Amino acid sequence: MEEQIQKTFSYKKRSKAPGFSAKPWKQIGKGVLKQLKTDHVQIVSAGVAFYFFLAIFPAIAALLAIYSLAFDPASIQEHLSGISAAMPAEVYGIIKQVINSSLQQSQETLGWSLVISILLSIWSANKGTSAIFEGVNIAYNLKNTRGFLKKTILTLAFTLGTVILGIIGVALVIVFPGLIDKLELPGFWKELIGFLRWVIMGMLLTFFMAAIYRLAPCRKSPKFRWFSFGTILATILWLAGSLLFSWYVENFGTYGEAYGSFAAVIILLLWFFLFSFMVLLGAEVNSEIERHTNPGTTRIMGFANRD
């Protein structure tokens, strides 16, 4: 009994925020700001955004090709309008153009389009995943020593996992509301279920962030407490940043005047850049937290000193 009590208190001591007092938080903040510049996080985020931009349109075409096997074009357009609330209007506008163009193709063309789109989207998304992984290793001050084959298998597996999560997310936003309407539930239950699907979306995004911070660093996989703070922070900042960015673009943005017909493309790239930046910011925060943890309070794996 006494031994169990000692273990309990020892665990609490080790995991206290995690393992240091409130004072180092200021040092952590300064360290993160310094490393954002030193690690060229903005440049890496821009590269990731570019590859995600290349991947999204083939991915949309592939999704529509699969979706059209079960739904007619009119239903598809109605269902897809549900994603408009989660992004700037200009971003949805350019995606809608791709949707309309894809839906006008014949079934035979859609079959070939499906194969080509899947290959292109996987290639582009895998490039984005590789860039994210490299950025996270830079943030953790680690050199990615994985061989080409191991690195490719890891990034491809992660990319395919992301695609599955994306399909689940799209199903929650697009397909799920249609199924709820068919059940003819009372208004309260419809609103509750509608709210819960966004909660589930947030949980999926949190899981996605956590998977990046666990798998990307080239070292022994850490326990969740070591990257939990950055995971939650990156998720919250991404969701809040996306909403604020949408609000700014709709109310104060002058991208149309500056870029003309390319405004929607620029906004989409900025949206991907925001996501990439938040992911790498979370990695920098996790790295600084581990670096400032008192030696001996818990195990720190494979970190070089940045000072």
Q: Tell me, letter by letter, the H, E, C secondary structure of the chain.
A: CHHHHHHHHHHHHHCCCCCCCCCHHHHHHHHHHHHHHHCCHHHHHHHHHHHHHHHHHHHHHHHHHHHCCCCCHHHHHHHHHHHHHHCCHHHHHHHHHHHHHHHCCCHHHHHHHHHHHHHHHHHHHHHHHHHHHHHHHHHCCCCCCCCHHHHHHHHHHHHHHHHHHHHHHHHHHHHHHHHHHHHCCCHHHHHHHHHHHHHHHHHHHHHHHHHHHHHCCCCCCCCHHHHHHHHHHHHHHHHHHHHHHHHHHHHCCCHHHHHHHHHHHHHHHHHHHHHHHHHHHHHHHHHHHHHCCCCCCCCCCCCCCCC
172 within domain boundaries: yes
Range of the domain at 244: 33-142+153-289
Closest CA to 281 of 241, 224, 225: 241
Count of structural domains, the chain: 1
Q: Which pLDDT does position 304 carry in this prediction?
A: 42
Q: Which pLDDT does position 289 carry in this prediction?
A: 86
Q: Which pLDDT does position 173 carry in this prediction?
A: 64
Cβ–Cβ < 8 Å for 41, 277? yes
79 within domain boundaries: yes
Cβ–Cβ < 8 Å for 150, 186? no
Sites in the chain below the pLDDT cut of 70: 1-23, 59-92, 94-95, 98-115, 117, 170-171, 173-179, 181-182, 252-256, 260-261, 294-307
Q: Which pLDDT does position 54 carry in this prediction?
A: 80
273 within domain boundaries: yes
183 within domain boundaries: yes
57 within domain boundaries: yes
91 within domain boundaries: yes
Q: Angle of helix 263-291 relative to helix 89-103, nearest 10 degrees?
A: 120
24 within domain boundaries: no
255 within domain boundaries: yes
Q: Which pLDDT does position 47 carry in this prediction?
A: 87
How many angstroms separate the CA atoms of 70 and 278, rounded?
36
Residue 8, C-beta contacts closer than 8 angstroms, at least 6 positions apart: none
Q: Which pLDDT does position 264 carry in this prediction?
A: 76
How many angstroms separate the CA atoms of 145 and 135, rounded?
14
Q: Which pLDDT does position 296 carry in this prediction?
A: 46
The tokens for 47 are 């590269």
